[in-house]
A and B are shown apart, each in its own frame.
Chain A
Amino acid sequence: MYSPWDDDHSGQNTQHQEAEWTKLSNDFTNAGYREGITAGKESALQEGFDTGYADVGAPIGRELGILRGMATVTLNLLDGQSKMLQNVPEDKDKLLAEARDISTQLSRIRFSDIMPPDLEAEAHAREHLQIQGEELDVHHDVQNKKDIETLEDRLENLNREEDSQFQGLRPTAESTKELRERLYTVIKRLGLGATFV
């Protein structure tokens, strides 16, 4: 077959030519790959964003937000900040303590505690780790938030040294469920239906 590279027909330079050819191939393939990855990434960011927003972020955020809103009102009603409560229950102080605890625990929950793992992302990260020993890149904003949370954890643990029972324990999706049940119980005691949300 005629090859444009083959103008020296002596065959002595074949090795050299082959190396040149490989280099040419690699250079252009790599350049294409680099630009392709950028273009591919940009083409998919919005789609990923919309999925993450609608399928995970918004519903989980709403659920936790509603609980926090409800907990705040029960606290408002019980601690007398608003004088709206008509039939004050006889064990008001006990209920108040319970509402405080629920409210505090709800406020401790972070999104990272309760969000489901992105399995596809984890699988892809493992692939990278196996092939190149690299870690997957994380977006600045997400990484910043992670760093801040790590710092918060350390501070919290410093403050908690005496009472090491909770050290390092993060809430889970299961604790959210428990807190919801406890909150509903308090709300029912206040004469409010818990099924209105």
Chain B
Amino acid sequence: MAGEFDLESLVHVEQTFYDTGFKDGFAHGRIHGLIEGRALGREKGFEMWEELGFYEGFAKTWRSMLLGSPQRQGSERIAQHINHLLELISKFPRTNPSSTSVTGDAGEELDISKLQRQIRSRYKVLCSCIGVRPRLQAISEGAGTNEEVDEIDQSGMDIDANITAGGSSIPVWKIDKATGRRSAVTNQDLNY
């Protein structure tokens, strides 16, 4: 009887030590998680929005150019491309949708990578209309260009349907998706 009591008490005391350690570790781990996550999010946000911003600045400057010469041949078509491109960019989230999707409209899920592909090919179409070389980034990162352009041209005005339809793929980029490796979070990697 006394032996059983000892064992139980021992287990309990081990658990208490463990729990105390866990609580402290958890608090410290959170600090590191926030710091590391912030660093990653900064990089990713910069990378994505530098590209989108480029297209935005590009399109708006050309639009301003066209406004000064509305009679030019083909300018109407170019203006249409510009408006499409800007419309797509305006749909791109400036915050990671994972944080807002909890409260946001569940029916309206964004397919980020699809939207990004659409923006890139729309930009390339605009470039060829104007007759300038597209930025290197857009060429190298958009494989299968023709196919995508076709897809866009078919969808035409129906862009909204395309964006909201993507329910199968992951609508937000999670940390492990952004980095491509989950193994980053292991005991070996942590200093404490």
Contacts and interface: CB of A to CB of B under 8 A. Distances in A.
A89 interface: no
B134 to A, nearest CB: 10
A157 B85 CA distance: 39
Interface of B: 5-6, 9-10, 13-15, 17-65, 68-69, 72, 94-96, 98-99, 130-133, 135, 174-175, 178-179, 181, 184-187, 189-192
Contacts of A128: 191
Contacts of A138: 36, 39
A3 to B, nearest CB: 9
Given A57-B44, A66-B53, A34 B61 contact: no
Nearest to A21: B13
Contacts of A121: 35, 38-39
Interface of A: 4, 24-25, 27-54, 56-70, 72-74, 76-77, 81-84, 86, 111, 115, 118, 120-121, 124, 128, 132, 134-142, 145, 187, 190-193, 196-197
B26 A39 contact: yes
Chain A residues touching B, majority SS: helix
A69 B29 contact: no
Contact of A37 (B5, B25, B179): B25
B42 A62 contact: no
B112 to A, nearest CB: 12
B30 A30 contact: no
Given A32-B19, A38-B185, A82-B130, A43 B33 contact: yes
A45 B59 CA distance: 35
